[in-house]
Homo-oligomer: A and B are copies of this chain.
Amino acid sequence: MSDLFEAIAAPARRAILDVLRERDGQTLFEICTRLAMTKDLTLTRQAISQHLDVLESAGLLSTKREGRYKYHYLDTTPLEEIVDRWLTPDRKKRGK
């Protein structure tokens, strides 16, 4: 859906963001094992791959392919929309 809010709605996707925050630029399999180890979240590789697609289309992460590896990089700037929308009292539109 390419929607930011729907992207962070699923607990699994938030866990992925946390995992990428601990260590940026991980591959799909690295994310899988790290979720299982540190977050106690055991999912299929395909499930996590789908979550990564949602996060990418929401602009929360970017990818870089290199050989047979695909690295995932966190980008939290879209989350600033939330701050600007509700947490800034006077609704000041900061110049982009």
Contacts and interface: CB of A to CB of B under 8 A. Distances in A.
Given A8-B5, A9-B6, A86 B76 contact: yes
Interface residues of A, number: 18
A17 B76 contact: no
Contacts of A5: 5, 8-9, 11, 14
Contacts of A18: 85
Interface of A: 5-6, 8-9, 11, 14, 17-18, 21, 76, 79-80, 82-83, 85-87, 91
Given A5-B5, A5-B8, A18-B85, 7 more contacts: A5-B14, A8-B9, A21-B91, A76-B86, A76-B87, A79-B86, A82-B82
